[in-house]
Amino acid sequence: MKAIQYRAYGDYAENKVVDLPAPAANDGQVLVRMRTVGINPLDNTFRSGHHYAATPENLPRVGGQMGAGVQIPRVPSSP
């Protein structure tokens, strides 16, 4: 899956397009195939390091707090 990720806090130059493994949904969760994603002011606050949760333990981080997509059907797990 393609994602916008940053590995250090800083300006826009920290945003990199990367390939990541596709996520899996656990019980009680849904998986959404995103059709469009936006980087909004909250993402910029995180990336710049000006948020209370901006600690080295929270890196690397994937941006894109808003978006639109379609739910991917999932096969229920066996009991």
pLDDT digits (tens, 9 = 90+) for 30-64: 899 999 988 888 888 889 999 888 888 889 999 88
Confidence of residue 78 (pLDDT cuts 50, 70, 90): low
**36 Cβ partners below 8 Å, 6+ apart?**
67, 68, 69
Does position 76 have pLDDT exceeding 70, yes or no? no
Q: Can you say how many angstroms the Cα of residue 27 is from the centroid of all Cα atoms in its chain? A: 20
Q: Is 57 helix (H, G, I), strand (E, B) or coil?
A: helix
Does position 26 have pLDDT exceeding 80, yes or no? yes
Q: Is 37 helix (H, G, I), strand (E, B) or coil?
A: strand
pLDDT at 6: 93
Question: What is the token pair recorded at 71?
Answer: 């739910």
